[in-house]
Structure 1
Amino acid sequence: MPVPLPTTDTDWTALRNFAALRGQLRVSLTPHCNLKCWFCHNEGDVPPPFSHLHRDAKPRPMEIGAGDYVNVLRELINAGLRRVYFTGGEPLASKLARPVLTRLPIRAPDVSYTLITNGLLVRAHQEWLATTALDKVKISLHYFSDNSFRAIAQTRSGIAPVLDGIEAAREVFQRVELNTLVQRENEHELRDILAFALERRLPVQFIELVDTEFNAGRKSSAVGARDIIDHLRTLTGDEEVEVFGVGQGRRIFRVDGIEIDVIQRQLGRHHVGQCGTCPVRSKCVEGFWALRLDQAGGVQPCLLRDDLRMDIRPLLGTAEQLSAAVARHVAAFTEGTL
């Protein structure tokens, strides 16, 4: 359970409600990646494929260190956020990955730590990853052949290291999951990806595209999840729709006890006060479901609105002030006064 909060005049209700609705704290360890997937949103920073084409468009610089990450995690978890996801870019490409992930500050039954990775570096880092308190590794598998890997990730490499990374994760972690963005380039492989996951008893999540200004040029690549949904219905009658909590609704299928999620636009999303007057709401398919901590010391409640980002660097040495400031920021966002 969350620890007692410091006695201040801060109203913690909005932050605690967000956490109770399964809101995530997404922690970006680096904006850089060893792939250039065309759809990347880079947690609201400039994505690698865009910076590769436009050398003057650079992501935010690294402004905080491993100790800062660990301290912020401790305070925000104590403030109520219990679901932590480490992202990038590619988090394992960051020099901070090891000193942060091997020093996870709070271990409790209701606190979970998940690493989201493209899998390419898992084998190289397997030995120290096995010593961490990570609860889960989630590996992106948006491709199932060398051709689709090269088309989607814009790389010259083959897919074998990704598949080996999945096996390396399975060797040291009890919980390994896959996620797959549904797109025209992999539409013919979705059933193969599903069969691969089911054979290894790995949960998998199929996701429809999240639109951003960076991937607008490839919007024609986005396809719906109807075909994979229809296929799943031939495999199981165990299907339910979940619209509880924050973020997008999802269809949940269970095939031989393995959970398969499909994130669909048509199931709606969770919007709050600030969203009511948001100028980009028509483009938003996610709503408010994550607080994002970036490598430059910023926290923002929305993928598409970096103008709502709060700089927490001046507060890094003042634990109680930091968590209270984040709570006030979330309250202002949900009340529409930010």
Structure 2
Amino acid sequence: MDRSQRPRNRELRAEHYVSVLSQLMNAGLKRVYFTGGEPLTSPLARPVLERLPDPGPDGAYTLITNGLRVRRHQSWLSKTRLDKVKVSLHYFSDKSFRAIAQTSFSIQEVFDGIAAARESFERVELNTLLQRENEHEITDILHFALERRMPVQFIELVGTHFNEDRASSAVSAEGVISYLRSLTSDEHVEVAGVGQGRRVFRVDGIEVDVIHRNLGRHHVGQCGNCPVRDKCVEGFWALRIDHAGGFQPCLLRDDLRLDLRPMLSNPEGIPKAVARHVAAFTEGTL
């Protein structure tokens, strides 16, 4: 085991997450994603998701999951303020599921989780990481989504120190792009403001997008002289809060984390502290 890659100790309790989210939503935060690992394995998932603050008319909450635990938690998940569930479907058979996820679960359990999500939520989407192990199944995954009128996102595997062990599995997105062009001429590109660029298609009214490195990324001030910029594949597109109480505008730079723990006793000050930190990051003065 590479102990340098071990997760940080959990410092935040459920009430901390709810309090921080409440403050940031009140200050204007619009979109919140719950991701992991697998969020539904956490003992904090239910106490946090059941107490989500009102996002307002323009806000939204999204759960990103592998689908395996959705059916089990369906009864309480359906009563939360989640707007969307996004299921990571990186496989379409037991063979590829085992090869990629190193699991004994059946792919049918993932399909059942997708069905459970669709029973409870109006908006359910898929995302698929393009890999050698699933390259032969990409069109199956695409048509699975299209037949159910579910938006789907295909993501080119790009190297970071988080996925070095998967680098040999990377395949180009050009194959899925060519296939999509055989299905539709409705295509456009989005780059600025979303980090790594995405190519967006509409097939019979269903959005299919492909994220790949050839479209560039959105950098800001702090990125200008960044010593790890050559390893950056995302650019600046999300703000992350981890379970150790850290706030990060960049996953590759732990030295740019803002420690929220000293502010948890007075959470009213968190939005201003976060705003100052983001401003310093985008201006390159951190």
TM-score range, shorter chain: over 0.9
- Which of 140, 157, 182 is residue 192 of structure 1 equivalent to? 140
Q: 1:55: Cα distance to partner?
A: 5.7
Establish whether residue 173 from structure 1 lines up as the match of residue 121 from structure 2: yes
2:165 aligned residue = 217
Q: 1:311: Cα distance to partner?
A: 0.7
Deviations 1:163-212 (A, max 9, x none): 11000100110000000011111111100000100011110000111322
Deviations 1:245-264 (A, max 9, x none): 23121111111110001112
Paired residue type of 1:135: D
2:223 aligned residue = 275
Identity fraction in percent: 72
1:71 aligned residue = 19
Establish whether residue 318 from structure 1 lines up as the match of residue 266 from structure 2: yes
Deviations 1:100-155 (A, max 9, x none): 11111123121000000000000000000010110000000001111111111111
Q: 1:269: Cα distance to partner?
A: 0.6
Contact map agreement 1:75 1:319 (CA 8 A) in 2? yes
How many aligned residue pairs are there?
A: 286
- Which of 106, 109, 130 is residue 161 of structure 1 equivalent to? 109
Deviations 1:263-288 (A, max 9, x none): 12111110001101111111111101
Q: 1:80: Cα distance to partner?
A: 2.1
1: distance between equivalents of 2:211 and 2:2?
A: 31
Cα RMSD between the aligned structures? 1.2
2: distance between equivalents of 1:107 and 1:222?
A: 37
2: distance between equivalents of 1:323 and 1:205?
A: 32
Regions of 4+ moved over 6 Å: none
Contact map agreement 1:210 1:286 (CA 8 A) in 2? no
Establish whether residue 330 from structure 1 lines up as the match of residue 278 from structure 2: yes
Select between 317-326 and 54-63 the one with higher mean Cα deviation: 54-63
Deviations 1:197-234 (A, max 9, x none): 00111100001113221322331211111000100111
1: distance between equivalents of 2:3 and 2:270?
A: 34
Q: Superposed, which structure 2 residues align to 1:220-239 within 5 Å?
A: 220-239=168-187
TM-score (norm 2): 0.97
1: distance between equivalents of 2:163 and 2:269?
A: 37
1:84 aligned residue = 32
- Which of 42, 65, 81 is residue 117 of structure 1 equivalent to? 65
Establish whether residue 94 from structure 1 lines up as the match of residue 42 from structure 2: yes
2: distance between equivalents of 1:276 and 1:116?
A: 31
2: distance between equivalents of 1:210 and 1:116?
A: 19
1:140 aligned residue = 88
Q: 1:306: Cα distance to partner?
A: 1.5
3-state SS of 1:269 partner: coil
Contact map agreement 2:128 2:154 (CA 8 A) in 1? yes
Contact map agreement 2:195 2:236 (CA 8 A) in 1? yes
TM-score (norm 1): 0.82
Q: 1:322: Cα distance to partner?
A: 1.2
Paired residue type of 2:35: T
Contact map agreement 1:136 1:175 (CA 8 A) in 2? yes
Establish whether residue 61 from structure 1 lines up as the match of residue 12 from structure 2: no
2:255 aligned residue = 307
Q: Which runs of 5+ in 2 are unaligned?
A: none
